[in-house]
């Protein structure tokens, strides 16, 4: 098998496409990624994927590195790692 790295822009486009088209039977699992790349288990958040999922992660879990897995029943629809910046404070 030939696995080629995906650019972060392609990954973001794919994620947004999946979030906007997510069916009612999809479930999103969000894991924190440790400094050494290991996933912290159990998952930090389990929810239905919606277009506001990234903002929800930022609000609920804060800044950090995360792995997102979206499943439809037993089929993996999306998997990828991403970073979330700290929320901006209004002045």
Whether residue 48 lies inside any domain: the answer is yes
Q: Indicate whether 25 pLDDT > 80.
A: yes
Whether residue 20 lies inside any domain: the answer is no
What pLDDT is recorded for position 87? 80
What is the value of pTM for the model shown? Answer: 0.83
Whether residue 62 lies inside any domain: the answer is yes
Whether residue 51 lies inside any domain: the answer is yes
Structural domains in the chain (count): 1
Q: Indicate whether 2 pLDDT > 80.
A: no
Whether residue 9 lies inside any domain: the answer is no
> Which residues does 85 contact at the CB level (< 8 Å), separation at least 6?
58, 63
Domain membership of residue 65 as a residue range: 29-84
């Amino acid at each position: 098998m030939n696995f080629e790295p995906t650019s972060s822009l392609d990954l973001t486009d794919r994620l947004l496409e999946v979030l906007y088209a997510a069916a009612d039977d999809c479930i999103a699992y969000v894991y924190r990624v440790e400094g050494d790349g290991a996933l912290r288990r159990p998952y930090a958040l389990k929810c239905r994927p919606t277009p506001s999922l990234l903002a929800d992660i930022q609000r609920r879990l804060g800044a950090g590195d995360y792995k997102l897995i979206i499943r439809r029943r037993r089929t993996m629809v999306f998997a990828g790692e991403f970073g979330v910046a700290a929320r901006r404070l209004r002045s």
